[in-house]
């Protein structure tokens, strides 16, 4: 393994995660990838070991360790060649209940989520026509008696088929009747088992990576009014609150991917003999790997800073965005260089490079695309005029 330029945090957790991941080698992921199947055994192992409840406070049965520990878990998962995308949302989606739920909702759900009895790893925000402009979502929840009746459509909702609950963002006031565009949206907690076939249809989308993502159709789905999280009309703020944790955790997955690619590129470059010498002896092969290492190391520091701010309860929106952007670009560069280092073998499934290459590409688009991060920095940090 390449050296980590940091003194890595949570060394015991990292070692234990690596040990767990060793039971899920490349062959396991390749078989799932071919069938676009869900890694149930891997997710069960992570759950049993308690890694998915590190952000849940101890009073609700989690380990209450914070985001720093969660980033260590996901970085090691990805560095080991595994993929946390099937389960990472179980770590942070519960934050909406933790921060905005009533005492009764917290008591009802958090201990079961911590124990792994309930999976809350689906969140429905994106819609086909709204795109990144979330204030334009059209899925509408109309209050009728003691229920909300939901009509509309969502797209790219990951893990919906593997979740007991979903955090769903809907309009409860039409955009043109709200005081501001970001008002009038609300968050509902949807019981997926009850909903499917009773107003909710889930349609899987086959993508270039194995990500269990879906399209959702709501046709008068009844959600009990008691499943409203926080105040009606304030949902956009609640969703934004959760996005910092998501971006920092996904950035840590990119750091893990980047280190995976660097480890593999170094090993191959030392071993592969062409023209009577190791290819890694050529600076044309060395330098891109060294550059990857520089970029991943720098991005890792930004991830650490964002996580430290989050855990200290301080504002971290800009740092979370910058960490996600730097880490996703560093992992993509490392992926490209690792593939190049492997020559033709980089394209062979059995090396796992092409699979990880496809997987790490996602993170420049989701959960937020690079342009939108640049726009945030340009207007919110640098005070440049707004472009939209």
Binding residues (CB under 6 A) for ligand FAD: these are: 123-126, 131-132, 156-158, 207, 211, 213, 362, 365-369, 371-372, 375, 387-388
Residue in the shown chain whose Cβ atom is closest to ligand FAD: 131
Nearest to ligand FAD of 202, 366 (CB atom): 366
Min CB(24)–ligand FAD separation in Å = 21
Among 178, 177, 158, CA closest to 167: 158
Min CB(84)–ligand FAD separation in Å = 13
Min CB(344)–ligand FAD separation in Å = 28
Min CB(101)–ligand FAD separation in Å = 20
Other beta carbons less than 10 A from residue 146's beta carbon: 9
Distances (CA, A) of 79 to 43, 74, 188: 17, 8, 35
Min CB(161)–ligand FAD separation in Å = 12
Nearest to ligand FAD of 74, 368 (CB atom): 368
Nearest to ligand FAD of 303, 368 (CB atom): 368
Tell the residue number behind the tokens 């909710």, with chain if given: 200
Nearest to ligand FAD of 123, 332 (CB atom): 123
Nearest to ligand FAD of 274, 384 (CB atom): 384
- Gap between the Cα atoms of 93 and 162, Å rounded: 14
Min CB(43)–ligand FAD separation in Å = 16
Nearest to ligand FAD of 249, 279 (CB atom): 249
């Amino acid at each position: 393994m390449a050296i980590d330029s940091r003194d890595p945090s949570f060394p015991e957790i990292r070692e234990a995660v690596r040990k767990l991941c060793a039971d899920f080698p490349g062959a396991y992921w390749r078989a799932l990838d071919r069938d676009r199947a869900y890694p149930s055994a891997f997710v069960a192992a992570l759950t049993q070991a308690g890694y998915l409840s590190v952000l849940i406070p101890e009073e609700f049965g989690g380990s209450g360790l914070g985001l720093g520990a969660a980033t260590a878990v996901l970085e090691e998962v990805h560095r080991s060649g595994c993929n946390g995308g099937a389960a990472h949302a179980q770590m942070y989606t519960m934050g909406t209940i933790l921060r905005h739920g009533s005492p009764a909702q917290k008591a009802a759900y958090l201990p079961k989520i911590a124990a792994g009895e309930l999976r809350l790893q689906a969140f429905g925000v994106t819609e086909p026509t709204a795109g990144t402009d979330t204030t334009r979502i059209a899925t509408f929840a109309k209050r009728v008696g003691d229920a909300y009746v939901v009509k509309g459509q969502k797209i790219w909702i990951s893990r919906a088929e593997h979740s007991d609950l979903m955090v769903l963002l809907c309009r409860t006031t039409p955009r043109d009747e709200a005081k501001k565009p970001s008002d009038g949206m609300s968050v509902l907690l949807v019981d997926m088992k009850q909903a499917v076939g009773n107003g909710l249809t889930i349609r899987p989308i086959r993508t270039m990576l194995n990500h269990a993502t879906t399209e959702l159709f709501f046709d008068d789905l009844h959600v009990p009014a008691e499943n409203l999280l926080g105040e009606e009309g304030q949902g956009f703020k609640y969703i934004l609150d959760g996005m910092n944790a998501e971006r920092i955790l996904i950035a840590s997955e990119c750091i893990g991917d980047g280190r995976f690619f660097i480890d593999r590129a170094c090993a191959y470059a030392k071993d592969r003999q062409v023209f009577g010498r190791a290819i890694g002896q050529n600076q044309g092969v060395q330098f891109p790997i060294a550059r990857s290492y520089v970029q991943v190391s720098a991005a890792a520091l930004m991830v650490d800073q964002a996580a430290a701010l989050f855990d200290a309860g301080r504002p971290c929106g800009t740092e979370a965005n910058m960490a996600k952007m730097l880490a996703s670009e560093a992992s993509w560069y490392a992926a490209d260089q690792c593939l190049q280092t492997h020559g033709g073998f980089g394209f062979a499934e059995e090396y796992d490079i092409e699979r990880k290459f496809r997987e790490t590409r996602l993170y420049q688009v989701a959960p937020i695309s690079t342009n939108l991060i640049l726009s945030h920095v340009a207007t919110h940090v640098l005070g440049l005029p707004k472009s939209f």
